[in-house]
Amino acid sequence: MTVPKTLSLQQRSWQVEDFLPVDYGLPSGLLTQLDQDLHRNCVRLLGRDVYSEGDSQPLFDYLQPRWAEFTPGFRQLMTLWLADEQKHYQALRRVYQLLTRIPEEEMNQCFARRHHEIEPIQALLADEFTILVALLFDELGSTISYRRDLREYYRHYGPAVTNIAKQLVMDEGIHFQNAAQILQTYHDKRLGELPALLHHISRLEKSLGRYCKTFFLDHAQEQERFPPDFNEVIIAMILAHFDLGPSPRRGQYLWAWKPAGQAFTPLVA
């Protein structure tokens, strides 16, 4: 099987160094002038997200021995996806180091100590179709949550960090579009399974109540930052994308949501 001529997967071209050159430092005095509560929460958020991006590699490594069972389009998608997610890992590592001065070696050790569990998310990895649906769910959630992070946190750290966050928002949106394209190209006969499978994924995330460090369902580690109906709205947005339901009115509201009376959404330790 070859890649159909009609398939045109997207990848945005940017490099971490475009925004954070090797000698880049945060604007002087910025860290001391910041609201220290906001800064503490941003560091906590980054301390999770940076490694979740890195978790793309163990997920990819798990799938690689199964390469022969996948379509050429899916293989192309996953190759582009891994390159982007690893770039996000490097970009957020740089930002985390700028904010905390944590040594490179300590970050490497921190990542090496992670235990990546595949078993709890096995149901998502049954076949190419379920992996793509899990990607849809995850990438749309990431697009919205990074947009929230940009608005609540990253924009306070100067133009370079702000620009990195904008790249992440746009890339995650592209990942969603690419996964949708592969589904429509190779799996259109199974699209009717989307509602039940998406609800199953959402229930699995809630029942796990933790992030298993294998990329998917990483929002389980910060559910307090999202409105209670976050997953339901995400599912409705996905179904609307495939003309399987109406566009949810609350789609626009998700990334702007925060608890009443708060300037930003604090993270639970």
Nearest CB to Fe ion, comparing residues 9 and 266: 9
Name residues whose C-beta falls within 8 Å of residue 141's C-beta, 6 or more positions apart in sequence.
Answer: 219, 230, 234
Binding site for Fe ion (CB under 5 A): 53, 85, 88, 139, 172, 175
Nearest CB to Fe ion, comparing residues 161 and 266: 161
Nearest CB to Fe ion, comparing residues 78 and 254: 78
Tell the smallest beta-carbon distance from residue 189 to Fe ion (Å): 26
Q: Tell me if 160 sits within 8 A of 167, measured CB to CB.
A: no
Tell the smallest beta-carbon distance from residue 132 to Fe ion (Å): 13
Nearest CB to Fe ion, comparing residues 152 and 218: 218
Tell the smallest beta-carbon distance from residue 138 to Fe ion (Å): 7
In the Cβ-directed half-sphere of 182, how many Cα atoms lie within 13 Å? 27
Give the Cα separation of 179 and 185 in Å (integer).
10
Tell the smallest beta-carbon distance from residue 128 to Fe ion (Å): 17
In the Cβ-directed half-sphere of 38, how many Cα atoms lie within 13 Å? 18
Name residues whose C-beta falls within 8 Å of residue 145's C-beta, 6 or more positions apart in sequence.
Answer: 219, 222, 225, 226, 255
80: amino acid identity, one letter? L
Q: Return the closest-CA partner of residue 182 out of 145, 133, 221, 147.
A: 133
Nearest CB to Fe ion, comparing residues 55 and 128: 55
Give the Cα separation of 169 and 12 in Å (integer).
11
Tell the smallest beta-carbon distance from residue 54 to Fe ion (Å): 10
